[in-house]
Amino acid sequence: MTLRIKTLGIVTVTLVALILVLIISNRQIVLGSFSDLEDEDIRRNVQRVEEALAAELNEIDISATDYALDDISPVTLVGLLNDQAFAETLDGKNKFADLIAGLNLNTFLVADADGRVLWGRGYDEDTQDLSPVPRGLLPHLTPDNPLLRHPNSETTLTGMVFIPEGPLLVASEHILSTLGEGAILGTVIMGRFLDDAEIQELSELTRLSLVIHRLDGSDIPEDFQDALSTVNDSEPVAVRTLEDDLVAGYTVLPDIQGEPVLMLRVDVPRAIMDKGRLSMLYLLISLVAVGVVMVALIIFLLDKLVLSRLSRLSGEVSGIQSASDLASRVSVTGRDELSNTSGAINFMLDGLEQAH
């Protein structure tokens, strides 16, 4: 094997090993950084959905507050207290059906200061008319329930009530004797189901793919169970990779009493990680290109500065040996180790020539 081939092999192997080390180390650094960015992004997206859900609750609360502060509320409450037939007149008024439909509500209740429900109705979207209050809500309408108890005129209550018909977003607001002040006469409760249509609306609002699953059954999907085991107060969001191109963030949605009843999953395409992989591909191509150029440059310089001169020197020495011409001399160029070697050979030839 010639020195040129050995040199080429050594340089190539060294650079390939160096490139591999750089690729492996940079892969950990680059993809690790993009993975952290992906985690931060999915956590922000989960937070966006939670904020959108909070905005829905706030919207219901504003509607309840507006009704509680309206002049008609005390009048309605007094009418319900003093005349049982007054409830029938409310049922017969289209304005309440229109009010509930216009506010996108599924239930509307009025209670007195002792927590007794005086009038309550649901809304049937199919018939577009009033319907009975959801049966699953009735156990929550006891006088000692926080929904119907307001310690003072400053307290309001919003949150989610979990009933068999589905999770219900509710707002409870007190009704005062006069506009915005005075004694507490009662309570108005408004609710909206967090159903498929509402989830789809949240999905369109946040431009995210959402999945919400109940936590009270035995058919909880495996990925939800895995995420549920890791979600806690210090880590409220669990991030899991579903597929190579899909990542999900999970968080628990509590009810109005703080108990976990639902789990939210936000699915996000892995655009950030795709960019990380693309960056790694560009880095790999760049390193290979630089490596090829470096090998070519090193071989060119070695050949020009060392190997070609060494080959020429070897040829000149072989020529002198073949001709047995001690008067011949090898050429000396430059001022380096090879030129010193050429000078030493000529000095040796001088000695041999004089000896003969």
Look at residue 75 in the predicted model and tell me its pLDDT: 54
Look at residue 278 in the predicted model and tell me its pLDDT: 86
C-alpha torsion sign, points 333, 339, 340, 345: negative
From first to last of its 356 residues, the chain has per-residue pLDDT tens of 667 777 778 878 888 888 888 778 777 787 778 888 889 999 999 999 999 999 999 999 988 887 777 655 555 655 555 555 555 555 555 566 777 888 888 998 888 888 888 888 888 877 777 888 899 999 998 888 888 887 776 778 899 999 999 999 999 988 776 655 667 778 889 999 999 989 999 999 999 999 999 988 778 898 999 999 888 888 899 999 888 889 999 999 999 988 899 999 999 998 888 888 888 888 888 888 888 888 888 888 877 777 777 767 666 667 666 666 666 666 667 676 666 776 676 667 666 666 66
- In the numeric block, the tokens 């209550």 are attached to 157
Look at residue 265 in the predicted model and tell me its pLDDT: 95
Tokens matching residue 44: 């922000």
- CA atoms of 102 and 96, how far apart (whole Å): 10
Look at residue 355 in the predicted model and tell me its pLDDT: 65
Nearest Cα to Cα of residue 192 among 9, 60, 77: 60
Look at residue 190 in the predicted model and tell me its pLDDT: 92
Look at residue 185 in the predicted model and tell me its pLDDT: 78
- CA atoms of 287 and 28, how far apart (whole Å): 16
pTM over 0.75: no
**Are the C-beta atoms of 104 and 77 separated by less than 8 Å?**
no
What domains can you pick out in the chain, each with its CATH number?
A: 3-23+275-355 (no CATH), 70-198 (3.30.450)
With 0-12 / 13-18 / 19 or more C-beta atoms within 10 angstroms meaning exposed / middle / buried, residue 341 is middle
Look at residue 268 in the predicted model and tell me its pLDDT: 92
**How much is the CA Rg of the chain, to the nearest whole Å?**
42
Task: Give 162-165 contacts, CB < 8 A, sequence gap 24+.
Answer: 162/216, 162/255, 162/259, 162/261, 162/262, 163/134, 163/136, 163/137, 164/135, 164/136, 165/134, 165/135, 165/136, 165/137, 165/193
